[in-house]
Amino acid sequence: MIPEGLRFAPLIRVSTEQQEKKGESLRTQKEQIQHYVKNLGGTIPEFCWQYSGQEHATPGQERQILDKLLDDSSKNLFDAIIVCDASRWSRDNEKNKAGLRILKQNGIRFFVAGTEYNLHSPEQAMFLGLAAEINEYYAKNQNLKSIQNRIARAKRGLPTTGKLPFGRTFDFDKSEWGVDEEKRQNIQWAADQYLNQNKSIVVIAKTLGMNVSNLWKIMNHRSGNSWTIEFNPSGQNIDENVTLEIPPLLSPETIQAIHERAKANKTYTHGEIKNIYLLSRMIFCADCGLAMFGQTNHGNRRYY
């Protein structure tokens, strides 16, 4: 017998940010839960809708929404939690057991759709455990297949990550790489200023409106004709690198000249360093582009 007037806390989750932005799954789950709660004669306090959003239910993922729900279960904010199906609760049996244990200790009831599961019943607890194990297997298997497919696509020269290398484009209809000419010209101009005009990389970056470290990485490591994608997802025992051929932004000779210039700058010294200064050569002046330096006076006081 389910008493009327139970305060329900809905747990509504989707796995990806894209699903959250589209919102269809969140809306569908919300409508279904509202229907179930109405039939159960319960209510949903307005603040209990906070346990909704984008969050993985699979193992090894951070779960701030679920953790907050479990933490709030001891504060007499709600009497029961409800999910549309068992996979929305957990696809990690370790987390499933720990979560159900907390709910049981705090006297919180547990509903999947319109059905209550008695957390004190060994049979029903076993069913929830089996559901979590099955959902965990399904999630891990799908994740493995997804990674394997991404590796296979990368080996065919197709981009398989969300962000393309700087200054490159890709036509998915024609399966062809291209170049953003404006960005390529900016990098070529930056290389000329650095190599031939003796301009500071800080000044160059400021002129282009770019981050200094990002511009330096592009010029040194990301302006050639290859792009290496690393596949090493946690928990999958996969560690593979795939190198794709892409259009270059700079010629090999220019890239080599940048490397040699950078190497020459690193090997130039002023003698043996007697004192170490915090953040020395790491902070640059926004106006002149020179690095912060320090000196020690006769009283052994350090100035920057």
pLDDT of residue 270: 53
**Predicted local confidence at residue 49, as pLDDT:** 93
At residue 269, the pLDDT reads: 53
**Which residue ranges form the domains of the chain, and what is each CATH number?**
8-151 (3.40.50.1390), 157-268 (3.90.1750.20), 273-304 (no CATH)
What pLDDT score was predicted for residue 275? 66
Residue 92 pLDDT: 83
- According to the model, what pLDDT value does residue 24 have? 82
pLDDT tens string 59-70: 555 578 889 999
pLDDT at residue 77 in the model:
95
SS (H, E, C) the chain: CCCCCCEEEECEEECCHHHHHHCHHHHHHHHHHHHHHHHCCCECCHHHHHCEEECCCCCCCCCHHHHHHHHHCCCCCCCEEEECCHHHHCCCHHHHHHHHHHHHHCCCEEEECCEEECCCCHHHHHHHHHHHHHHHHHHHHHHHHHHHHHHHHHHCCCCCCCCCCCCEEEECCCCEEEECHHHHHHHHHHHHHHHCCCCCHHHHHHHHCCCHHHHHHHHHHCCCCEEEEEECCCCCCCCEEEEEECCCCCCHHHHHHHHHHHHHHHHCCCCCCCCCCCCCCCCECCCCCCECCCEECCCCCEEC
Looking at residue 263, its pLDDT comes to: 83
The pTM score is: 0.62
Give me the residues of the chain with pLDDT under 70, please. 1-2, 15-23, 56-62, 266-282, 286-290, 292-299, 301-304
